[in-house]
Amino acid sequence: MIMTFLPVSHESLQQAAQILRNGGLVAFPTETVYGLGADAFNAEALAKIFEVKNRPRFDPLIIHIASLDTLEKVTDMSQLSEETKRKLFSLAEKFWPGPLSLVLPKNEKIPGIATAGLSTAAIRFPSHEAAQTLISLSGTAVAAPSANPFGSLSPTRAEHVRDKLGDKIDMILDGGPTQIGVESTVLDITGKSIKILRHGGTPKEEIEKLIGRVEENVSNAEASGGLSSANEASGGLASPGQLKSHYSPQKPLLVFSREEMIRLPYEADAAYLFFDGSARDAWLEAREQQEGQGRLDTHGRPEALVLRTFSEKGAVLEASACLFEILHELEKCRISRIFAQFAPFEGLGAAINDRLSRASK
């Protein structure tokens, strides 16, 4: 297939919208990661997404909208209690547009393939301007998973999409690197208690500030508690995309606490991925003290050392923005394994740690 690769512009967005209306697939930037979009009402186009990504049919897609008016077309509001509606509107007011996907009863016009047979659909209103314009111009809602082969690293640049899916889709819109770098938070508000199904760009703490306690139902493939019967169709996973092993680079990855990381011995064919500059410096210092024992020297030139730091200052947003980017780069590096340091478990750190843990399985 001949794919068109174009920077975001008025013309390319028009062209992309036309492709979506014709049932084609377009990769486009969002504030989180690049999405692989198709018309959410076109079952055939949706089937192509699963085929191209090699994605199991039990893993439902997120449906993207660019106005609150469209919400009614993709959901069935009549199934929501007044209380849930109130929560929905305060969440939408505070976090939309933005990196939050809300699980809601689906509209019957959305084909079952989009939601893997579930009676609910995850709905997201992205804040990225190009994404909004594309959705508006297409005149429909856009189903879009991350634009990567199933289970592999998520794309935070148009080039990542081109490398892995370039020959299988109609168009890639290049909007440069994404800002947040991890996917949206998935929140189920259909039940009595509100549940986080995937940590992501909207921190749990911020959601709790607005609507009170939120339960964690971030599944690990074994998870089974509290699922509706509809969800049993998807292998008993609350959020089927949350398989234990996911977001994986093509190299073994091991994750450590700060203390463990600093104690790791030097290995010439490993990459060391520090969360912050101070941990990296502490590690380097400890290794220098061992230099007398020949550690660095016997293993080769010091410049062969592959060191990366997510954020010099240890800022979680900066770290999440480059997480997948660095992992994509290391995938291509001549190293045989990756040692990575956990982020602090707060704010976006929860999403970063979730992705690192899954990448390590």
What residues line the site for Mg ion (CB under 5 A)? Answer: 146
Helix 82-95 and helix 204-211: axis angle, to 10°?
130
Measured from the CB of residue 185, what is the shortest distance to Mg ion in angstroms?
13
Measured from the CB of residue 348, what is the shortest distance to ligand TXA in angstroms?
13
Contact call for residue 351 and ligand TXA (CB under 6 A): no
Cβ density class 181-203: b for 16+ within 10 Å, e for less: bbbbbbbbbbeeebbbbbbbbbb
Contact call for residue 115 and ligand TXA (CB under 6 A): yes
Q: According to CB under 6 A, which one of 20, 27, 52, 61 is a site residue for ligand TXA?
A: 61
Q: According to CB under 6 A, which one of 52, 74, 88, 103 is a site residue for ligand TXA?
A: 103
- Which CB, 97 or 314, lies closer to ligand TXA? 97
Contact call for residue 62 and ligand TXA (CB under 6 A): yes
Sole window of 55-63, 255-263, 276-284, 285-293 interacting with ligand TXA (rule: CB under 6 A): 55-63
103 binds, among Mg ion, ligand TXA, none (CB under 5 to 8 A by kind): ligand TXA
- Which CB, 33 or 323, lies closer to ligand TXA? 33
Cβ density class 206-230: b for 16+ within 10 Å, e for less: ebeeebeebeebbbebebeeebeee
- Which CB, 234 or 309, lies closer to Mg ion? 234
Tokens 């077309």 correspond to what residue? Answer: 73
Measured from the CB of residue 183, what is the shortest distance to ligand TXA in angstroms?
4
107, 80 in Cβ contact below 8 A?
A: no
156, 324 in Cβ contact below 8 A?
A: yes
> How many other C-beta atoms lie within 10 A of the C-beta of residue 257?
11
Contact call for residue 175 and ligand TXA (CB under 6 A): no
Contact call for residue 161 and ligand TXA (CB under 6 A): no
Distance from C-alpha of 15 to C-alpha of 138, rounded to nearest angstrom: 10
Contact call for residue 248 and ligand TXA (CB under 6 A): no
- Which CB, 103 or 340, lies closer to ligand TXA? 103
Which structure tokens are listed for 177?
């690197």
- Which CB, 122 or 279, lies closer to ligand TXA? 122
Contact call for residue 327 and ligand TXA (CB under 6 A): no
Distance from C-alpha of 46 to C-alpha of 138, rounded to nearest angstrom: 15
- Which CB, 115 or 341, lies closer to ligand TXA? 115
Measured from the CB of residue 162, what is the shortest distance to Mg ion in angstroms?
17
Name the residue with the smallest CB distance to ligand TXA.
241
Backbone angles phi, psi at 293, to 5 degrees: -85, 5
Cα angle: 153, vertex 133, 123; to 5 degrees: 60
H or E stretch at 358: helix 349-359
Distance from C-alpha of 103 to C-alpha of 53, rounded to nearest angstrom: 22
Nearest CA-CA partner of 343 in 258, 270, 283, 236: 258
# residues contacting ligand TXA (CB under 6 A): 30
Which spans of this chain sit near ligand TXA (rule: CB under 6 A)? 30, 32-33, 35, 59-62, 99, 101, 103, 115, 118, 120-122, 124, 126, 144-146, 183-184, 186, 197-198, 239-242
